[in-house]
Amino acid sequence: MLRLILAAAVVALAPAAQAADARQMEENKKAVLEFYDLAINQKNFEAAAKFLGPRYVQHNPNAADGPEGLKAFLGFLREKFPDYHSEIKRAFADGDYVILHVHNVPTPNARGNAIVDIFKLENGKVIEHWDVRQEIPEKAANANTMF
């Protein structure tokens, strides 16, 4: 019986909590979209860094850990790949995470890469990053594109 009462209480409380969660997730998504554009497309570390939390745990195997790793990567892009940009095809949010599915074009007219970026946020700030990148092949076994 106690279990039933507790279950009913959880159900009653859930919608308000879910509404708050949904608001936070939308805010997280908005923050990541702005962060991503400032970092990857504008290559402006100083502006992007305002969206970083007290740490930035990096899982991309080619980037050094922390905000300094991001700064070095953006400096590298600015110098070697000034036209490097990513078009966001889909953006998702679930709990503390925001996930982007993007078409990355490192140099003009390149077929480019499909990338999924995963960001973890804490108090609305980005604190951790994972990604997976795959070159878009010239030919495909279906006509649907990678996006």
Q: List the one residue from 47, 52, 57, 127 that touches its own copies (CB under 8 A).
A: 57
Residues 97 to 126 in contact with its own copies, rule: CB under 8 A: 97, 99, 101, 114-116, 118
Q: List the one residue from 47, 49, 52, 63 that touches its own copies (CB under 8 A).
A: 63
What ranges in 37-100 are assigned the alpha helix state H? 45-48, 66-80
Q: Where are the beta strands (DSSP E) in 16-62?
A: 52-58
Residues 35 to 54 in contact with its own copies, rule: CB under 8 A: none
CB of 31 to its own copies, least distance (A): 16
Residue number with CB closer to its own copies (48 or 98): 98
Q: Which residues contact 78 (CB under 8 A, 6 or more apart)?
A: 43
Q: List the one residue from 7, 8, 14, 110 that touches its own copies (CB under 8 A).
A: 14
Using rule CB under 8 A, residue 2 touches its own copies: no
CB of 86 to its own copies, least distance (A): 13
Number of residues that bind its own copies (CB under 8 A): 43
Residue 92, SS3 per DSSP: strand
Residue 65, SS3 per DSSP: coil
Query: What dihedral do alpha carbons 130, 135, 136, 137 form, nearest 10°?
Result: -150
Residue number with CB closer to its own copies (1 or 100): 100
Residue 35, SS3 per DSSP: helix
Residue 102, SS3 per DSSP: strand
114 bridge partner residues: 103, 134
Rule CB under 8 A: which residues touch its own copies? 14-16, 18-19, 22, 57-65, 69, 90, 92-95, 97, 99, 101, 114-116, 118, 130, 132-134, 136-137, 139-147
